[in-house]
Chains A and B, each alone.
Chain A
């Protein structure tokens, strides 16, 4: 961005769009298991995720652009998860919350758990933990915002 002489900033349209998108993410409540409670805690008063422009948790995929997959995805749930992801409008992003969603976690020996939700939907940010603390999820969200704005982590 360049600052002009008269207090006017010039930028590309793309950059302005990215800035807008990153600061108004509307997450979809894809609460599947234990991590959903920590996702609710992230939304609650102590760790207020609204400070980063994501206070409106939507229950409809049509109104949201970020899917936080919180909790173990089973083989039975995977087709439904994919369908809900496909119902979301573009541009859309996915945060994988918890080790179950990343690679199976404690249920890696089982027969009914999808070992990594990235086999079903493309994932942008992985937040490890079992379950991750609200602070970790908030950090994941900030990382996603940086990713949308094409910034590096430095």
Chain B
């Protein structure tokens, strides 16, 4: 005998991590079908970008993947600088790399903490947010912003690193190495965490490729694809780091890949700090008075690796001071699309863990 229920989760629900609506068709406790409704956070950032000068659009990209603002800025500025042919000084590029990796760590801290909350572990949440708070202190020192930083601008960064910031980053990295192992132990020592994660939310690699899934989700399915390695930007080809993969394809594999990437981020930051050269942090061609007159013509598509995957930016310039069209290829949107396939036939409790493991950010899905 079967009992069919249609269960509605969201739009405002602690398990959805953002505002989506999941309409779940249930046969007793087994998920038969998931219907995802998005669009509750559609803020038309792409359309507003057409109204502004190139330099003013950075703030809208900050607020797309709002937990990983630095990588969004790198993505937008890489496209704009290709379009308007702007050189970036070497020091500025190294600074951007350090900030992008710090931001990646900060974003993962939110993701892992929220995953813990969904399994019923409250303690790791406080520890991860304590580490995130330390990174935000560094961001405040550099840019004045805690979360939506608006630190980078066309031709460089807003403000040079002083000795205090470098000291703070070194101090954070030294403390974070031990703290990370301690936090991971909180998860992996828990029997409940293993039971809820192992074997749930399995994503086959061919389905992942069909749907355009990228980032830790693709790597956890066994495909070593990372934009930082495959099409290097900034100076990612001059530092050593590994791309972790998992063969298990499940939620546990995804968690372990994310954790290993944190270790690699720490490694990258250490190398960047050792290689940080002296010199200008800003291209004088893009100084404040000239910033509003920068013109671009043609089509440009560039991509970077954000915390949730391959973040691409398309810009078309018509020779004016404002872009004609801006489009963002958001990884979270693609990653969220496979949730119905991953959870088909599993229990309703596994759906919650899978949504947390996908770690989609609503601001980026709806833009």
Contact = CB atoms under 8 A, between A and B. Distances in A.
Contacts of B40: 32, 74, 76-77, 80
A151 B216 CA distance: 52
B126 A45 contact: yes
Interface of B: 11-14, 19, 39-45, 47-48, 51, 59-60, 63, 66-67, 110, 125-127, 129-130, 132-133, 146-148, 362-363
Contacts of A84: 12
A41 interface: yes
A113 B47 CA distance: 13
Contact of B45 (A41, A107, A133): A107
Contact of B44 (A32, A41, A110): A110
Contacts of B129: 40-41, 44-46
Nearest to A80: B11
A80 B16 CA distance: 16
A82 to B, nearest CB: 12
A110 B43 contact: yes
B47 A33 contact: no
Given A44-B126, A77-B19, A59 B41 contact: no
Interface in A34-52: 34, 37-38, 40-41, 44-46
Contacts, number: 89
A109 to B, nearest CB: 5
Interface of A: 29-34, 37-38, 40-41, 44-46, 59, 71-72, 74, 76-77, 80, 84, 106-107, 109-113, 130-131, 133
Given A44-B130, A46-B133, A76-B40, 9 more contacts: A29-B12, A32-B19, A33-B63, A44-B133, A77-B19, A106-B63, A107-B44, A110-B44, A110-B48
B115 to A, nearest CB: 13
5 contacts: A33-B41, A41-B132, A46-B130, A46-B133, A110-B47
B43 A72 contact: yes
A70 to B, nearest CB: 11
Contacts of B60: 106
Contacts of B47: 110-111
B39 A76 contact: yes
A106 B66 CA distance: 14
A38 B147 contact: yes
Contacts of B14: 29, 59
Most buried by A among B39, B60, B129: B129
Contact of B42 (A34, A74, A131, A133): A74
A34 B12 CA distance: 14
B156 to A, nearest CB: 23
A133 B133 CA distance: 11
Nearest to A130: B148
A31 B19 CA distance: 8
B56 to A, nearest CB: 10
Nearest to B47: A110
Contact of B43 (A31, A113, A130): A113
B130 A131 contact: no
Most buried by A among B12, B60, B110, B362: B12
A104 to B, nearest CB: 10
A30 B132 CA distance: 22
A109 B51 contact: yes
Contact of B66 (A34, A74, A76, A133): A34
B42 A76 contact: yes
A4 to B, nearest CB: 43
Contacts of B67: 37
Most buried by B among A34, A41, A106: A34
A40 B42 CA distance: 22
A136 B21 CA distance: 31
Nearest to B44: A110
B312 to A, nearest CB: 21
Nearest to B37: A76
Contact of B11 (A77, A130, A133): A77
Contacts of A45: 126-127, 129-130
A131 B12 contact: no
Nearest to B137: A46
A33 B146 contact: no
B133 A74 contact: no
Contact of A38 (B41, B127, B146): B146
Contact of B147 (A37, A46, A74): A37
